[in-house]
Structure 1
Amino acid sequence: MELADKTGHLLFPGAAFLHLKKLQNLTIDLYGYPVFGPEFEHLPLKYIKFKSCHLKNLRNDTFKNFPATLSEIHLSKCLSIKTSQIGVNVLRPFISLSFLDLSWTFVTLTKGLELMYPLINRTMQLVDLSHMRNLRTNKFAVPHTIILTEEMMKHLNTMCIQILNLADNNIVDILPRSLFGSEHLECLEHLDLSGNRFGLFSLKYELPFYAPKLSHLRVFDFSYLALTYLDAVYMPATTSADQYHSHTKKKRKHDYCAGETSVNVTIPSKLEVLRITHVLGAPPFPQLTLNNISSLRYLDMSYYDIKCFPDIFLYNRDIQLEYLDISGIDCELYFKKKNLPYFPVLKELYMRNAHFYRAIDKNINIFKNTPNLERLDLDSNYMFTLPSSFIMHLDHLIHLRLSENRLSHIPAAITDLPRLKTLNLKGNRIFTLYPEFTSWLDAQQIKLGYFSLKIRKNDFSCSYENRKFVRWLNSTMVHLDNKTYYCRLSNGSLSNTNTVLMNYHVIFSNCDAFVWLRVGVILLVSFFMVLLPTIVIYNFRWRIIFFCYRKFRGIVENSLKLNYDYDVFISYGYDGYSWVLETLTEQLETKWGFRVCLEDKEFHKWQIDV
């Protein structure tokens, strides 16, 4: 760039690019008061992006030397330019333009719509007028509010536009025949109105009427809205919209769920994506009837401020929804409904901040209506457990997110999910991964070739009982979200798994000594428990034998009804006569209590008696 004159105009010479005979895409900075040389006219450009845009003004002749082949222009994030310094015919040189991006430029949407004047009756693939606001001079400045009127939209409504982005422009109301007053509504495929503040009644009466004309609309986004009953609160007192919205100035009924009548919504026949996220002040719909829902594939109604979930009636029950996000809506509002739709092909379900613990407490399994889920997100639901019956039938589940809950252990049903490849347990109260689960993780890694595990921000314990988990972290092939994790030692101090692993033998040396001490005590006790009974049995073996003999003989005598006078009969030789009479008999009769029969004693007495 060269200084052209003392007024601050910057010359962008195109001579440096002339040898690039096939140059089609150009990204260049834009500063001050730009002047583009005549050489640019000979470049075969189709795409240009002004990446660092610090303009002071844009005159009607700023781009006069650009080639007629340009079809895509990105003039976004121009933060220094003023609305008064932009010519209304600045886009006239671009006769082949089909992509126009003016997003994040600090001029008002009203000025952006005026710049459409040279593009009247054009066919455009993209017109991005999102995030266009006046630069605030201080934090207390009131943001510029926009009321879309038929006059403001008159240039845009002559164009055949496929993608129209008016997001985050402080639009507070949409008057009749403004947004949907286009002559070519059948061209519109993607409409983004997110981040504005217009009321529900701005669309309630026009959208059903124009829905048949929106025959090619595939994406409709009006997220981050602030819907309100008092739509006229942002309107000047003189606007003609006061009369149009006069019926909205009514007080809310005490019974919130009875505040509105049933609503019949006709969805455009080819609508595939519908986003209505982060909507505040949503009125109640006791009954909601949906038509032409078979084309819808993507529905995001997360953080929709609803206090009364409607009874849903489907005119066409052929539901082909693949993506559903109902995060931020208390699940208690809908899990008791008996007419909840069945989603046969739903692949992704997001239920963050939905108080899902209430469904668990009441054992209401809403996943029975979603048998083919591949991704399930239950982040931040205050769950202390997840019953096996809730997910064990989800054989197609690949991604499961249970982060930011209160889980103290990993649900056992996870190991019954054959196709699971990613598991997010971050921010729970898990203190260890047991060997049964780590073995399953390693098996999944080998079987599927990839497994991702996120376990940061848990209350891990590096005690002796969990030492196998610490070693597993260093040896596993599973893709972890960190190389080291904080954990608490047995003495209560805080460390990390990498430090524990490096000092493994030092930290757990006392634990090993305690184990050997325990083994020694067990062996010593076992020895005495075996030795003492052995000694007693050996020393009193004859008494034990005779005791058993007497018991056995008593049982036999009683069974045979016999009664013997003597317990023992002793037959002996002559050389043992004195030992038998003096020692053995004395021992048997005196100490052991047996009645002894001796041949020389008892038989002799018997003969005398005879």
Structure 2
Amino acid sequence: MMVFFFCLKRYKCHICEIHDLSVNCTYKELRNVPNDLPEGIVILDLRFNVIHRINGDVFGKYRNLKSLHLDYNKISLLPTNAFDGLEHLQGLFLTNNNLDFSVSYEVDVFSPLKRLQQLDIRHNMKKKYTSKVQYPLFENLHNLRKLSLDLIDDPVFDNCGFEKLQNITKIVFENCDLRMILNNTFSMLPNNLEEIHLRKCNMIRGVEADAFRSLRNLKILIIHHSNMKLESALKLLYPFENKHMRVIQFTRVNPGYKCPIETPYAVILTRQMMQHLQKICFNTLVLTENGIVDFEHNSLLWNQYPECIQNIELSGNRFSLMNGFKLTELWNISRKLINLTSFDMSYNPLSYRNVEQNIKNLPDNKLSNFNSIFLKNTEIGKPPCSNISFLSRNRNYATPTRESPIETVFVSLPQNLKQIRNRYYLANERLGKRIVLLNASNLTYLDMAYFDVGNLPEIVLKGQNNIKYIDFSGIPSWNTSMSLFAHSKTVLLRYNGIWSNVQQTQHYFSFIQEVEELDISGNQLWQLRYDTFLYNKKLRKLIMQNNLFDELPTALIPIENLNFLDFSGNILDSINETMRNWLDKQQKKNGTFKIFLRYNIFKCTCETKDFIRWIFETSIEFDEPNKEYKCMLSNGSITTTVKVYQNFHDYFSICNNEIWLRVGIGLLVSFITVTVPLAIIINFKWQITYWFYRKFRKAVEIELKKKFVYDIYLSYSNQSLYWVKNILMPKIENCWRMKMCLEDRDISVGDAYVDAICDSIQQSRNIIFIITKDFSEKHWGRFEIERAKYEKYASNLQKIIVITRQVPVENFPTEFEHILNDVILINWSEAGNENDWENLRRALVTDIL
């Protein structure tokens, strides 16, 4: 593909991108349709230009066009001959222009488009119409299958030729300006329609139940992001009672989304609201983000045709199925949903841990809004039901209490259920210690990522276990001995905080021996035991993004079938020879190997030159097609691996001279090291013998210490700057003669700032954190804490000292909670008395045994 210019013998060079029979002219600031393109093109993309008008017969030479994109221009008029010659065109897209229904469309403008199958003229309504407006003429589009357009208030479809569109099956109304949906609003639509969408309706205040009476073949009804009551939307289902529909979807149907804080009003479903839906044989029901907080008995889950239901999605609401009569209802109806294959109740925040603090942080003028929406404003005039949980123990329901915890919850699944998604289910309720899933032999997909209910009980399957996909991301603690994972092929454990268990537990991932794809991103891992993956012989794809690895761990070597490795977002500076040889071996054995290394900064020095050469000579596939990664030179400047490889000799020619210089210096040092002590021993052998004799009975202790550049690395926020500069620093450096590393003084700002922090902490004997109220706002504060943990466990850092200065408990960084036993905590008084200085001095000079 030519990215900038394309030349043919018959055509001059053109600014558009031309590939085979497709032309891309997007973002070229074109004012007119170009007339010098190849005649045989079938796709022309002119989006995001400044075309104002389509001149007559401009497309005459492009008679083979099948797809024409004119979206995001400034077209305001379509003359009669605008599309002459396009008899083969199948798709025409004119969204986001200035086409006014009353003046922009000539009567026969679409007449030449005999084979058009898809027409999109949405998002052109730039004004409010005060009178009835006739829609364009579509009667000549006999092959049209999909039509997308704006919907004005009080539309007129009488003379637009809908009755002649015998092949149309789908209409999308977007940018909807209706105020009322009346029984005759859609009466002129083609009766062969199978699918209709109402999207972004701004102000629908009421509906009449027979509005869709003429659409007797409708199978899919989707209402999305519309300012109308959910009760009104459900009322539109009346004409479809005792009929079959494939999809009924109501998403973000709630007037509250038009409020200043974009929060839906609380909705309680009643039997009356659901009466029409209950009499429809539907395959898929989607009620998402509608503000539902509760439902009456025999309302939401009850249906006359339960055998029709295949998919239910209730995500983005705020109600629980685990209370009172609803659990009983769920238990009974699950036996009737014999064909249900998918159930989704994700993003369901039943309660928030910090709701009181959130209310306090709202401005005074928002408090009334907050109360009315969250606490009072329900569609039937009652507050949302409380979240008292009722669980099942041996099939007897009781209320769980702290005094008598319920041990086991039984959940009977529909017999054909294959997929459960319960992501981001947030509630302060406990579910007991065990959940037993009955009739789960067909369950293959279980997604419980970020499931927060105070505890995650053990999940047991009664019968055969066929689960292949499990997502337990964001769940901090759970039992790895659960049989749930026995046959899983894909397992996601992102952001679980499992770093401690992984590094301390033998054969940690042995509980997923059948896994083929594993994602353990974001778990603060920096090293692995050699036997971590010893039992994961079938693992093919391993994702370890956003951890703290500075090298590829040798724990990967036992994974024989691995052919995909994602190490993006770590702190790798190179790949050593052992792991490079292993990667090449995997590539040769498996035929292909992909490795992702983006968002690491490598080193381009004499020590890593073989690694740089390997990147461009290996046959392994990388996430950067050009293998262009960031690279730091020995002088600290940042370049790319491509530039270094292209000028390999210039960058590394000094390395050979450096090697011989090191050999010479090494020989000289060895000679001096051997000859000088030998000469001293020969000349002073009797004096040395006598000295050792005198000291023979004395105990000699030698303290071996690592050489550090700094005695202290100091981490502080802006609030502590004056105290550090004028009080702490003079005391430590001038009086105690210790060398400190300060961010504002010793670390220069640049692209490699994060590496400078890492190097400074590694070169420091101790680290001191000055914790004040604004420490959590410090940009690099959490990173310095995580790096301090790493250096401490790697035995490079001797002491971590935390000085707190009038900081409340809630502002204390939670990152310290896992290393409190290794932290020296000093609570500094406001006056800073001698006891504080003495405690700090002892902490710095006294060893921790």
TM-score range (shorter-chain normalised) is 0.7 to 0.9
Q: Secondary structure at the match of 1:305?
A: coil
Structure 2 match to 1:274: 420
Larger Rg: 1
Do the aligned residues in 2 keep the contact of 1:320 with 1:343 (CA within 8 Å)? no
Does residue 1:513 correspond to 2:657, yes or no? yes
Identity level (%): 30
Question: Retained in 2: the 8 A contact 1:47–1:72?
Answer: yes
In the alignment, residue 266 of structure 1 is paired with which amino acid? S
Show the counterpart of 1:325: 471
Partner of residue 56 from structure 1, selected from 172, 175, 178: 178
Identify the residue that residue 598 of structure 2 maps to in structure 1: 456
Q: Structure 1 residues 31, 247: CA separation in 2 closer, same or farther (over 3 Å shift)?
A: closer
| Structure 2 residue aligned with 1:573 | none
- Alpha-carbon spacing, 1:298–1:234, altered in 2? closer, same or farther (3 Å): farther
Match of 2:329 in 1: 206
Partner of 2:271 in structure 1?
Answer: 150
Cα distance, 1:92 vs structure 2: 1.6
Q: CA RMSD in A?
A: 3.5
Residue 479 of structure 2 corresponds to 334
Q: Does 1:45 align with 2:167?
A: yes
Matching residue of 1:108: 229
Distance 2:146 2:384 in 1: 51
**Contact 2:267 2:378 (C-alpha < 8 Å) held by counterparts:** no
* Partner Cα separation in structure 1 for residue 498 and residue 546 of structure 2: 13
Structure 1 range deviating more: 65-74 or 268-277: 65-74
* Counterpart-to-counterpart distance in 2, 1:225 and 1:527: 75
Change (3 A) 1:188 1:365: farther
SS in structure 2 at match of 1:293 = coil
CA distance in structure 2 between the partners assigned to 1:90 and 1:288 by the alignment = 46
Q: Counterparts of 1:304 and 1:64 in 2: how far apart (Å)? A: 46
- Listed one character per residue, the Cα deviations across residues 40-92 of structure 1 (whole Å, up to 9, x for unaligned) are 112123422426433334443232222222112233x3243x12264433222
Match of 1:78 in 2: 200
Whichever residue aligns with residue 440 of structure 2, its letter is I
Q: Are the counterparts in 2 of residues 359 and 365 from structure 1 also a CA contact under 8 Å?
A: no
In structure 2, which of residues 286, 305, 318 is the aligned counterpart of residue 184 of structure 1?
305
Q: 1:246 to 1:3 in 2, by over 3 A?
A: closer
| Aligned pair partner of 1:296 in 431, 443, 448 | 443
| 1:225 and 2:335 correspond | no
Shift in CA distance, 362/86, structure 1 to aligned 2, threshold 3 Å: same
Aligned: 1:3 with 2:102 = yes
Which aligned pairs between 1:493-532 and structure 2 lie closer than 5 A?
Answer: 493-518=637-662
Matches within 5 A, 1:372-411: 372-411=514-553
Q: Deviation at 1:272?
A: 0.5
Of residues 499-508 and 124-133 in structure 1, the stretch that sits farther from structure 2 once superposed is: 499-508
Q: Matched residue of 1:205: which SS?
A: helix
Match of 1:367 among 484, 498, 509: 509
In structure 1, how many angstroms separate the alpha carbons of the residues matched to 2:235 and 2:577? 68
Deviation, structure 1 residue 349: 0.3
Match of 1:570 in 2: none
Distance between the aligned counterparts of 2:407 and 2:665, measured in 1? 79
**Taking CA–CA contacts closer than 8 Å with sequence separation of 6 or more, which of the two structures ends up with the larger relative contact order?**
1
Contact 1:265 1:288 in 2 (8 A): yes
C-alpha change, 1:120 and 1:364, in structure 2 (3 Å) is farther
Between structures 1 and 2, the one with greater helix share: 1
1:283 aligns with 2:405: no
Find the counterpart in structure 2 of residue 585 from structure 1.
Answer: none
- If the length of structure 2 is used for normalisation, what is the TM-score? 0.56
Distance 1:364 1:161, change over 3 A: farther
1:158-177 map, 5 Å: 158-177=279-298
Matched to 2:619, the amino acid is: M
Q: Are 2:427 and 2:454, in contact at CA under 8 Å, matched by a contact in 1? A: no
5+ residue gaps, structure 2: 1-99, 104-127, 354-373, 391-397, 673-849
Residue 97 of structure 1 aligns with which residue?
A: 218
Of residues 182-191 and 64-73 in structure 1, the stretch that sits farther from structure 2 once superposed is 64-73
Q: How does 1:237-316 map to 2 (within 5 A)?
A: 259-284=405-430, 285-316=432-463
Aligned to 2:563: 421
Q: Is the 8 A contact 1:172 1:234 kept in 2?
A: no
Deviations 1:522-563 (A, max 9, x none): 7999999xxxxxxxxxxxxxxxxxxxxxxxxxxxxxxxxxxx
Change in Cα spacing, 1:524 to 1:177, as seen in structure 2 (3 Å) is closer
Deviation at 1:519, TM superposition (A): 5.0
Q: Is the 8 A contact 2:565 2:594 kept in 1?
A: yes
Aligned residues between the structures: 516
Sort the Cα spacing of 1:417 and 1:288 in 2 relative to 1 into closer, same or farther, 3 A: same
Q: Partner residue of 2:338?
A: 215
**If the length of structure 1 is used for normalisation, what is the TM-score?**
0.76
Instruction: From the superposition, tell whether residues 511 and 248 of structure 1 become closer, same or farther in structure 2 (CA, over 3 Å).
Output: closer
Q: Secondary structure at the match of 2:184?
A: coil
Letter in 2 for 1:505: H
Please tell me whether the aligned partners of residues 169 and 195 of structure 2 are also in contact (alpha carbons under 8 angstroms). yes
Q: How far did 1:358 drift?
A: 2.7
Q: Tell me the equivalent position of 1:607.
A: none
8 Å CA contact 1:104–1:132 kept in 2: the answer is: yes
CA 1:436–1:154: 2 relative to 1, 3 Å: same
Distance 1:2 1:236 in 2: 39
